[in-house]
Structure 1
Amino acid sequence: MFRLLRSVRRHPLSPFSKRGLQALALFFGSIVTATFIMHLLEGWSLVDSFYYITMLTTGEGPSNSPATLVGKLFASFYSIYSVAMLLTTATLMFEPMMGYTFRRGVEFFEKEKMRLGTHQHPSTPQGQQRPSEN
């Protein structure tokens, strides 16, 4: 079982690369930290604070608003930070797959370009040479 998990993590196209896992850990760590900060600033329960932070992170909009000025400022800055962190985490996790797909697409088009360059183009009449595309 552990061998399978290790091989999945080490596969070059796996979203669970070292960088992806580090970004994911940082993302969830920031949610936990923000939950405790809102718990201390607003006096909410940990469940209410966690709910507020996750709704703020996903853009759903929280059901209740902070009452203190410091809580409002923290929520404002955290909402900007959390969106950037979410996008960074997604980018780092899926970059290997997207890079692989992009490289395969470029290779395909290069092969097609070479193949079409050696054959007659369908729009040129029989017996005429195709003009070079330099």
Structure 2
Amino acid sequence: MRRTRLRQVSPRRAASTDGPLWSTLTRTPFQPSAVAGVQATRPPLRQVSEKRAAENRQRAALLARLRAERPSCEARFAFADVTCCGPLDGHEPLTRARGGSVLDPDNIRMICRAHHDYIHEHPALATALGWLRPSGGGAR
């Protein structure tokens, strides 16, 4: 979303328009360098930090290894009403937000996309069955 600032219209143009005073204001793109009279020299922000990019590369290598070791969905018998389909995803029962590591092979289950979606759409059932774990070292 672009930031904008209000610019007042010239008095001659304002006199030719009808309506209240606020209608004489128009929007123009906000340019801090133009306002301050200083050229902005900041580099663009990175989409991913170098630390996270390195972690993502390690995770990709780990998932490739786990796909070779565990070629089928580990949740295929846990949920009878879901049919396996889609590629295998790496699912973490103890998510990163709850204190889990995405680089710990013991915290990753290889499951199909359909089961992965189902687990996250039904967190109470998934937690009861051990496919999601609460933070603080809860059940399982």
TM-score if structure 2 supplies the norm length? Answer: 0.24
TM-score if structure 1 supplies the norm length? Answer: 0.25
Q: By percentage of residues, which structure has more helix?
A: 1
Q: By percentage of residues, which structure has more strand?
A: 2
Higher Cα Rg: structure 1 or 2? 2
- With a CA cutoff of 8 Å and minimum separation of 6, indicate the structure with the bigger relative contact order: 1
